Structure 1
């Protein structure tokens, strides 16, 4: 995929930035509301506690009690103490001490000292010796604490009044709210900055595409990969499977319920995958066989991104169609060979017929024609009727014609049959095994001076198993080469031979089969091949 470096970050940035800002604003507002409510409640509680603590401190002062018994503050130290107390407290607006007779003995406003208290008279009998209330004074609405002052012997001396104005309380509330709003604004600005960075990073990860465009391309890519007739399997650098298209599932016979564990697919060579990942090289045309006994051609490709190896791609090609074409071509090949051999054979027969006619033996010529026609038709019909594989049938017909050309009696054993429902073998393997054995028999007989020239072929199938028998009347196999007959290069026919039986032996072993022979020098040889299909049982053949 080509990286889109020229497109500006627009829609995705706006989407992410908008979503993050909305989320941040909502969360910040909710947090501020909750925090302000908690903070205001705490602040009011602190104000009340502070007012009560100040009032309690004054009521417990012995100096103040002594002065109040005289109903005047003669000692300036008491006034100085109260003034310093007031000046040290920012959240207290008024401290006033009133005697039992209603005279203000102390007030933060010095002009009111000595005047008669004209405010609300506290009701200590109903509310206790100290209580908090809201009231209105000359300065406006306020929060008040009333505390009774008693002498050591319990005599009521008066009361102390500690006040904070509501406007100051409101100012404190406003300051708290503004503080939280400022913090919320800072959070929003920081979130917007972080959102912009995240948008840039996501855009970079998506190669400059919008998410909807990227998902559309991903969908198109999947559809393209799924439309391939070839199986496609993607593997990362750590040899983990990432993807498998439907064609690969069908080729490997996994169906829809498949795993992405490379160990579950022995048809894929781990050795070759490691070679591709280590050497960054492609490996083409590897032949393999699946657990379903299907032939597969596998190509291994390295996958690079920006010059860096990131994985491998396995492309699986089902060889069924190719095999079918090869079988058809093989059938045509053997039919052509059969026609060529028949051409030679018929030329010989025509010469015989011509000679009989020239000799005036027309009746014998007609009888000869009738005999050779019926024999040939019966043989070919027998092969076509009992051998369902067209390539194998074409091979046998061709070999029949070849035998006639070599003056060898060629026959199909009684009871021979090849049923496709019983076994499933590669046609090339069948042709290689059967053709080599028959051709070896022809060559053995043709190179000997035996009077009897006969070759019989037996082909038998049962569910999961195939038996091939080739019996000839040739000279037999010399004892000295019998032990190493299937080795590469071993032959009785001179140089440039000796690979046929070696190939046959390799194919038979690959098909979990066996090949044996019985031979008597001067009398002939019988080869017996047993090959097992995927459902075959060697012990029951």
Structure 2
């Protein structure tokens, strides 16, 4: 039996438990109500029988008949009363309980059965249930008094138990039927309830739910990113250790669950949106920490239940971004230089084979001087080595594409640009220059010149990149910095670069402006304030 219950599904165990409980409750209720009805009917019949017996004993005709021992008169009166009443039988006796009237004439002249000793002498009325001449019945016996208050006889009025049982059944059967109907309804609702519980448990058994919960706890703890789940009321429903550590939340994790997110995180708007779409790689500042967050909605049966937000520190992405930027820049530089040097070496090789030694030597000296001059020029303008390396690579990339990248006079960048850090600045410049290259290549009438200006000498960090492309179409110019919006039509993963540029600039309270270049193309101008208005100082 134990193994059978163990192997039974949770839904069936819940159903059987409810079935047993409801059956026991309804059975006990039925027994209690039946017992109360039986007692009520018994008491009521006894009361009615005694009242009827006393009324008959006080009738003048009965008193005169008993005094005169007129059995015919008594029979006539008793038969008439019996026809108009619902008692089972009526017996009339004298002062010695000898029958003067009986429904069965053969019983006349015999002493009544089951008399209470001394009751006649005391003039006592009483109820007795016993097996008599008419069968098992409840009898009400009361004395008959003459005008001188002397006991001259006795009335025995009885209700057969079979009739009382019939009355009991007529009252109990409907009640039992109703209770059975209620029991079947409870059984039905028990099954529906157990099915509902199973649905809420997504068809899983308690052991499976416990295992999933343990797996979830393990997954939450194993994930390197911070994880946070919030319901529609803004309450935290789950949080892992890394999220607690990054957000600097004190106390055990179990105490944080159920807390309002706005009480622990500032600002909390990102976590409290009642509707919206999933978000990927959003740059946020919460609890003084710059993070990159992803947000996914929780939906159950088509109803929105809240958000799951994963996030990681922005400076960790900076480290990775810097490493990737450097590697990509090295690869790009090497590829470009290799291509140029192959052509250059081929040319030198041809000159040497033609014994043009002086020209070959002059070419080597010229190329070396040009490369060193470019390096010196970029290094003198841009003290930050990461930015200088980026611009050196972009210069050769432009040359490879058949474009000319020019630096506007007055360019100047310190070794530690403010307020933005070098990784974010490299991302801004890289995206703007790549867009300028692509836009210029699309215009067959372009002069193939891309101009770049960078300066942090004043109160602002100023960046300007101009291309000679076809310009930005008016219908997307106002939305060009929105994620997913792009002027490119060659497919691929576009609509991200300018969104990141705008995000970085906004974080430092900067401004991005679009303008028309002459004679064609677009100018992107960025102004980021330095000093106390910058985000660096806000954070510190």
Sort the TM-score into its range (normalised by shorter chain). Answer: 0.5 to 0.7
Assess if the C-alpha contact under 8 Å between 1:286 and 1:297 holds in 2: yes
What is the TM-score of this pair, normalised by structure 1? Answer: 0.54
Moved more, 321-330 or 235-244: 321-330
State the number of aligned residues: 360
Distance 1:488 1:320 in 2: 23
Question: For 2:530, what is the secondary structure of its paired residue?
Answer: helix
Which deviations, in whole Å up to 9, do the C-alpha atoms of 1:88-119 show, x marking residues without a partner? 555x4331111236542221223334x24253
> How many Å separate the matches in 2 of 1:173 and 1:289?
80
Contact 1:267 1:288 (C-alpha < 8 Å) held by counterparts: no
Q: Which residue of 1 aligns with 2:530?
A: 505
Once the two structures are TM-superposed, the CA of residue 209 in structure 1 deviates from its matched residue by 3.0
SS at match of 1:260: coil
Structure-2 change in CA distance of 1:203 and 1:121 (3 Å): closer
| Counterpart for residue 319 of structure 1 | 314
Compared CA separation, residues 89 and 26, structure 1 to 2 (3 A):
farther
2:27 to 26, 29, 42: 29
Q: 1:439 to 1:104 in 2, by over 3 A?
A: closer
From 236, 239, 244, give the equivalent of 1:244.
239
Question: Which position in structure 2 is the counterpart of 1:188?
Answer: 183
For each residue in 1:481-526, what CA deviation from the matched residue of structure 2 results, as whole angstroms up to 9, or x when unmatched? xxxxx9989xxxxxxx9999x646167643447xxxxxxxxxxxxx
Looking at structure 2, the residues matched to 270 and 20 of structure 1 have their Cα atoms a distance apart, in angstroms, of 45
Give yes or no for contact 1:323–1:427 (8 Å, CA) kept in 2: no
Moved more, 299-308 or 47-56: 299-308
Report 1:28-107 matches (<5 A): 28-75=26-73, 79-90=75-86, 92-100=87-95, 102-107=97-102
Deviation at 1:204, TM superposition (A): 3.3
Where in structure 1 are there 5+ consecutive unaligned residues? Answer: 1-9, 333-391, 396-424, 442-485, 490-496, 514-531, 534-541
Most deviating of 180-189 and 63-72: 180-189
Post-superposition Cα deviations, 1:336-366, rounded to whole Å, max 9, x if no partner, equal xxxxxxxxxxxxxxxxxxxxxxxxxxxxxxx
Cα distance in structure 1, aligned partners of 2:530 and 2:420: 15
Per-residue CA deviation, residues 430-449 of structure 1 (Å, 9 max, x unaligned), is 999xxxx99859xxxxxxxx
CA distance in 1, matches of 2:302, 2:110: 97
Whole-angstrom distance in 1 between the partners of 2:20 and 2:80: 51
Within 5 Å, which residues of 2 pair with 1:359-370? none
CA–CA separation in structure 2 for the residues paired with 1:272 and 1:132: 81
- Give, in whole Å, the separation in 2 of the partners of 1:310 and 1:294: 27
When residues 14 and 233 of structure 1 are mapped into structure 2, their CA distance, relative to the original with a 3 A threshold, is same
Report the CA distance shift for 1:266/1:140 in structure 2 as closer, same or farther (over 3 A).
closer
Which consecutive unaligned segments of at least 5 residues does structure 2 have? 1-7, 328-382, 387-418, 427-453, 459-508, 513-522
CA contact (8 A) 2:92 2:155 kept: yes
Q: In structure 2, do the counterparts of structure 1 residues 15 and 88 end up closer, same or farther at CA, with 3 Å as the change threshold?
A: farther
TM-score of the two chains, using structure 2 as the length reference: 0.54
**Distance apart, 1:228 and its partner CA:** 1.6
Of residues 175, 199, 222 in structure 2, which corresponds to 1:204?
Answer: 199
Relative distance call for 1:98 and 1:329 in structure 2 (3 A) is closer
In 1, Cα distance between equivalents of 2:314 and 2:197 = 44
Q: Hey, what's the Cα distance between the residues in 1 that align with 2:11 and 2:128?
A: 56
CA contact (8 A) 1:323 1:426 kept: no
Deviations 1:382-437 (A, max 9, x none): xxxxxxxxxx9999xxxxxxxxxxxxxxxxxxxxxxxxxxxxx99769999xxxx9
Matched, 1:221 2:216: yes
For 1:109, the equivalent position in structure 2 comes to: 104
- 1:232 is paired with a residue whose SS is strand
Partner of 1:264: 263
CA distance in 2: counterparts of 1:234 and 1:169, whole angstroms:
69
Please give the secondary structure, in 1, of the residue aligned with 2:203: coil
Distance, in Å, in 1 between the alignment partners of 2:384 and 2:102 is: 130
Partner SS state of residue 148, structure 2: coil
Return the offset for 1:160: 0.8
Deviation at 1:140, TM superposition (A): 5.0
- Per the TM alignment, residue 174 of structure 1 is displaced from its structure 2 partner at its CA by 7.1
Partner residue of 1:283? 279
**Equivalent position of 1:294 in the other structure:** 289
* Alignment partner, residue 416 of structure 2: none
DSSP 3-state at the match of 1:25:
helix
Paired position in structure 2 for 1:17: 15
Cα separation, 1, equivalents of 2:196 and 2:11:
10
Aligned pair in 2 of structure 1 residues 40, 327: CA closer, same or farther (>3 Å)? same
* Equivalent runs, 1:77-476 vs 2, <5 Å: 79-90=75-86, 92-100=87-95, 102-113=97-108, 115-117=109-111, 119-122=113-116, 123-124=118-119, 128-139=123-134, 141-166=136-161, 182-237=177-232, 241-255=236-250, 256=252, 257-258=255-256, 260-270=259-269, 274=273, 278=275, 280-291=276-287, 293-304=288-299, 309-323=304-318, 440=457
Deviates more, 1:31-40 or 1:184-193: 184-193
What is the DSSP-based 3-state SS (H/G/I as helix, E as strand, rest coil) of the residue aligned with 2:149?
coil
CA distance in 1, matches of 2:110, 2:301: 94
Are the aligned partners of 1:95 and 1:163 in contact in 2 as well (CA < 8 Å)? yes
* Mapped partners of 2:283, 2:177: distance in 1: 72
Instruction: State which drifts further: 63-72 or 136-145.
Output: 136-145
For residues 84 and 203 of structure 1, what CA distance do their matches in structure 2 show?
70
Match of 1:520 in 2: none
